[in-house]
């Protein structure tokens, strides 16, 4: 959260606006709305109403207020590899520590043709530099930037190299990285994560959300969700 420079959406993705029981409207994939509906986040258990549908392309360039980041306003930008079957379909971008995020943001910052393809303006991406939030031995405070350079990753399309970078960054970062900002400054990432999560929840900046680890199909052929059961 502290390192957000933008969020990513899938340009061809189908998103919807759904009313939550708080009266707020969440923009997300239908799959996420189904999970939320069975986790007592909608007005009526198991019911979810889409009040408007929108393509990811239409969200590109939307100014956003992202919790905890040092940037007052960030923007929704395109990422072609987002799965609508994971999370909400909208991805928080932390290019300091996520190699995929840095490779994609760097492509948008440096390739005018790519910006033109999706109608991205320079001011939505070029001024946003990665923010130092975690220090990791051997990788420093801009792990993703370091690994992308070390592995010679040229673009967001270098999938195998990006996977290698991601595995290195996340494993070493979780167990050896230390937060250098925020409410858990100085704590190791594995200790800091739940503290930051609690802070976000206590401040009303986040809500709980659960989903299966991967795609699960029941014996009847239905897609499985996570539901609140008492």
DSSP for 31-70, written as a single string: HHHHHHHTTT-SSSTT---EEEEEEHHHHTT-EE--TT-S
170 exposure class (CB count in 10 Å sphere: 0-12, 13-18, 19+) = middle
pLDDT value at residue 214:
84
Backbone φ/ψ region at 204: left (φ over 0), alpha (ψ -120 to 50), beta: left
Assess contact for 99 and 9: CB atoms under 8 A: no
CB neighbours (10 Å) of residue 185?
12
pLDDT value at residue 215:
86
pLDDT value at residue 10:
98
pLDDT value at residue 213:
86
pLDDT value at residue 182:
95
Stretches in the chain below the pLDDT threshold 70: none
d(CA 22, CA 83): 27
**Whole-structure pTM value:** 0.92
Assess contact for 81 and 166: CB atoms under 8 A: no
Sequence-distant (6+) residues with CB within 8 A of 27 are: 15, 16, 17, 18, 54, 59, 90
pLDDT value at residue 204:
94
Quick one: which of 110, 115, 134 has its CA closest to 193? 134
| Domain 6-202 CATH assignment equals 3.90.740.10 | yes
Beta strands 74-78 and 6-9 are parallel
**Per-residue model confidence as pLDDT tens digits over 19-64:** 999 999 999 999 999 999 999 999 999 999 999 999 999 999 999 9
Domain ranges of the chain: 6-202
Alpha helices in 96-230 (DSSP H): 99-110, 112-118, 143-150, 159-176, 189-202
């Amino acid at each position: 959260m502290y390192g957000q420079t933008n969020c990513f959406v899938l340009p061809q993705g189908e998103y919807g606006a759904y009313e939550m029981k708080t009266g707020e409207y969440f923009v997300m994939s239908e799959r996420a709305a189904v999970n939320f509906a069975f986790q007592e986040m909608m007005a009526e258990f198991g019911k979810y109403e889409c009040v408007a549908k929108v393509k990811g392309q239409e969200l590109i360039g939307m100014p956003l207020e992202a919790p905890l980041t040092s940037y007052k306003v960030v923007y929704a930008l395109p990422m072609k590899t987002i799965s609508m079957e994971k999370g909400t379909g909208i991805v928080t971008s932390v290019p300091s520590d996520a190699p995929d995020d840095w490779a994609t943001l760097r492509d948008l910052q440096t390739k005018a043709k790519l910006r033109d393809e999706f109608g991205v303006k320079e001011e939505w991406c070029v001024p946003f530099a990665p923010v130092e939030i975690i220090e990791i031995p051997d990788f420093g405070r801009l792990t993703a930037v370091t690994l992308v350079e070390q592995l010679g990753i040229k673009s967001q399309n270098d999938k195998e190299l990006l996977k290698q970078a991601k595995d290195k960054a996340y494993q070493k970062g979780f167990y050896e990285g230390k937060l250098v900002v925020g409410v858990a400054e100085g704590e190791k990432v594995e200790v800091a994560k739940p503290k930051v999560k609690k802070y976000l929840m206590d401040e009303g900046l986040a809500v709980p959300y659960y989903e299966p680890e991967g795609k699960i199909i029941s014996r009847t052929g239905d897609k499985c969700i996570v539901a609140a059961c008492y």
